[in-house]
Amino acid sequence: MSVRSLRYYESQGLITPIRQANGYQTYTPLEVETVETIKLYLNLGLSTEQIAGFLHCVLKNKEAFCADVMPLYQTKLADIEKQLLQLNQIKLNLEQRMAAILHEQEQSNSGQEADTRLSPKCACP
Under CATH, which number does the domain 1-65 receive? 1.10.1660.10
Residue ranges of domains in the chain: 1-65, 67-110
What pLDDT, on a 0 to 100 scale, did the predictor assign at position 114? Answer: 46
Asked if residues 38 and 51 have their Cβ atoms less than 8 Å apart, the reply is yes
pLDDT digits (tens, 9 = 90+) for 60-103: 877 667 787 888 889 999 999 999 999 999 999 999 999 999 99
What pLDDT, on a 0 to 100 scale, did the predictor assign at position 10? Answer: 92
If 0-12 CB within 10 Å is exposed, 13-18 middle and 19+ buried, where does residue 34 land? Answer: buried
- Model pTM score: 0.63
pLDDT greater than 80 at residue 109: yes
